A and B are shown apart, each in its own frame.
Chain A
Amino acid sequence: MIDVTRIAAELPNVTGYIYPNEYELHWGILIVVYPYLTGLVAGAFILASLERVFKVKALQPVYRLSLLTAFSFLLVAPLPLLAHLGHPERFSEMFLTPHTESAMAMFGFVYAWYLMVVLLLEIWFDYRRDIVFWANEKRGFVRYVYRFLTFGASDISDAAIRFDDKIGRVITIIGIPSAFLLHGYVGFIFGSVKANPWWSSVLMPIVFLFSAIVSGIAIVLFIYMVSTIFRWKQVNMPCLNKLAELLFYAILVDFSLEALDFIQRLYESEESISILSQMISSRLFISLIISQIILGTLIPLVALAAARFGRIPDEMRRIMYLVAAVLVQVGIFSTRWNVVIGGQLFSKSLRGLTFYKLELFGLEGLLTSGALIVLPFVILFILVKLFSPWDREEVDVKSSKA
């Protein structure tokens, strides 16, 4: 039950007038985590498809890693949605009796399509040959796991492998629009709310997509670097350079789109502009100006450009890439925050601003959200152990130095 004295104490934090029902923010940090995770899925998959469909050979060392990353994050993506429902036990109604006009209802189908048809199939066809090998050479319980995962298809003749490869390519080609659909749709959930001038924009799905690509490339770069260090292997520098280059271009496009959206709003100067400007200069100053634009966009852009195109020793270059990748994650998380939370900080009466009080504990608290962000990494760790995505010709750090 809501504590009335607490409300009385906090009401002064509200500036101007808000509708009484707007005091409570309805979508909290869990709904920030949801598009953040989904974006990572779409971005990582699009990165993988660059290698597969567009034959960017330099990316070969991270191809499988990208797929496994996308898969791990996809498994966790619906959990924050589920946790935030008032009646989680009725969740299945979204699948069983969906309201076809609702953007949210279609999530289940887009998600299921993406998980079942695109990602799982692609990973299976890509790994099938290895799974058959592992089913023969490993010992103990895991052997049965691999054996089960062959689903009886143990033919590894050249013709069969060629077939796998062909199917894999077809699935990736279907996968690219599907990945666009997955995250573009998340943008549509917000962009189609005409009641909310901060959200309502045709650019929303597109901005979501490009920020997804940015975050996906950055997370794969980060995971690849950190895991290579911990495995005492040498980082494949051409691959890393390519990732950094792609990341640079993706940020550039993403930033231009967001700037376009911003300039258009400013120039059109509709009736909401005054309250939105107030919100940006007060409530969203840290998360938008500092965190999203300066830390998450401008500094990584400069760092990536300097490291990629400047004459810098490889050691320094790697550090700069890593820092840029981490900052990009901070920036993209802030982007999601500014969309989801920002869209609820001003009153739809356009007369006042409310505030968001983040809780530490509880289902909608900071700790749950942190756990939901860590969980995909745990899943990825297990998947990487079971389905090694690494190149067989990787060089040990020690042996190269000897």
Chain B
Amino acid sequence: MTDQAPKMPRRDFLDTAVRKLPAWLLVFKLLNPAELLGDGDSTDVGNPKYDPTQHDYAMGVNVHKCIGCGRCADACKTENNVPRDPIYFRTWVERYITSTDGETQVDSPNGGINGFPPAQKESGILRTFFVPKLCNHCSKPPCVQVCPVGATFQSRDGVVLVDETYCVGCRYCIQACPYGARYLHPIKKIADKCTFCYHRVVKGHVPACVEVCPTQARVFGEAGQQSSPLRRFLRFNDVTVLKSWLNTKPKVYYAGADGEVR
């Protein structure tokens, strides 16, 4: 035992503090899951061979082909454990009815899962069609921009995801989404949305909604690969995206959706 505890001279203390600063900054940076996951290297997706940098996912929806059976919305709820209540959907089907007087009416009872009741219109019906809706996986997603903790992020393969263990449930992303594609999970109390069935696509499968569609109204695939079905869809259809004026750059492309769809 000495009389005095060893003292660290002020100069040494400052020196050490300055030297260790970068280390602390690094720790701070590593705590950010958005950056970690965005990196791709350390993502655990259940498929060790999966390389997210080699993919760029997108979806095509052919309105002409959709018959409004609602199988997609149903399959999505089953596949992703979405609550069965009629107010939570990762995907749903809307029916548009334009009458001869030019008025358009839209409905989506239970997301279209139980089909649609016969159309009630006093004047004659000019045209009617079905539009499946889902998260547009925007290239410039407003939901990602506003998230205060970075819990919702864009993966390297172009999918907008939510980190369940990180979301604080502030619901700002739900407000920021122009498409109504997000909801607050009533049990988990976190924002929830379509993932393009990420757990399936990393294993080489297509999303559940695409898998069950009886008319192939939904096309899923690689936006960047020459031979993909999606490329073919984009090549042979006049496509549009929803609310293009908001500059969100959606990656769900619609063929045959008219100006009434928003």
Contacts and interface: CB of A to CB of B under 8 A. Distances in A.
Interface of A: 1-2, 4, 7, 17-24, 26-27, 81, 84-88, 90-91, 93-94, 96-99, 101-105, 107, 189, 193-196, 343-344, 347-351
Contact of A85 (B87, B168, B182, B183): B168
Residue from the set A19, A87, A349 with the largest chain B CB neighbour count within 10 Å? A19
A97 B86 contact: no
A343 B174 CA distance: 13
Given A102-B147, A102-B148, A195-B246, A20 B92 contact: yes
Given A27-B175, A196-B175, A99 B147 contact: yes
Interface stretch (B103-111, B229-237, B250-258): B103-111
Contacts of B181: 21
Residue from the set A7, A85, A194 with the largest chain B CB neighbour count within 10 Å? A194
Given A98-B148, A349-B262, A24 B175 contact: no
> Interface size for chain B: under 10, 10 to 19, 20 to 34, or 35 or more residues?
35 or more
B184 interface: yes
A85 B174 CA distance: 13
B17 to A, nearest CB: 20
Interface in B167-213: 167-172, 174-184, 186-190
Contacts of A104: 146, 148, 170, 172
A198 to B, nearest CB: 11
A271 to B, nearest CB: 9
B135 to A, nearest CB: 11
Interface in B131-186: 133, 142, 145-150, 166-172, 174-184, 186
Nearest to A195: B178
B114 to A, nearest CB: 13
Given A26-B174, A90-B168, A20 B189 contact: no
B262 A91 contact: no
A96 B31 contact: yes
B85 interface: yes
Contact of A348 (B85, B178, B188): B178
Interface string B96-124: 00000000011110110000000000000
A48 B167 CA distance: 39
Given A2-B87, A27-B171, A87-B169, A19 B180 contact: yes
Contacts of A105: 148-149
B189 A193 contact: no
A356 B182 CA distance: 19
Nearest to B183: A21
> Which 10 A-B residue pairs are closest in the complex by CB-CB distance?
A86-B169, A19-B180, A86-B189, A195-B178, A105-B148, A99-B150, A104-B148, A23-B87, A17-B106, A26-B171
B87 A21 contact: yes
A17 to B, nearest CB: 4
B59 to A, nearest CB: 18
Nearest to B186: A2
B80 interface: no
A361 B179 CA distance: 32
Contact of A24 (B105, B107, B184): B184
A222 B86 CA distance: 47
B130 interface: no
B89 interface: yes
Contact of B149 (A18, A21, A81, A97): A97
A20 B111 contact: yes
Residue from the set B106, B147, B166 with the largest chain A CB neighbour count within 10 Å? B106
B105 A21 contact: no
B88 interface: yes
A137 B178 CA distance: 63
Contacts of A349: 106, 180, 262
Contacts of B145: 101-102
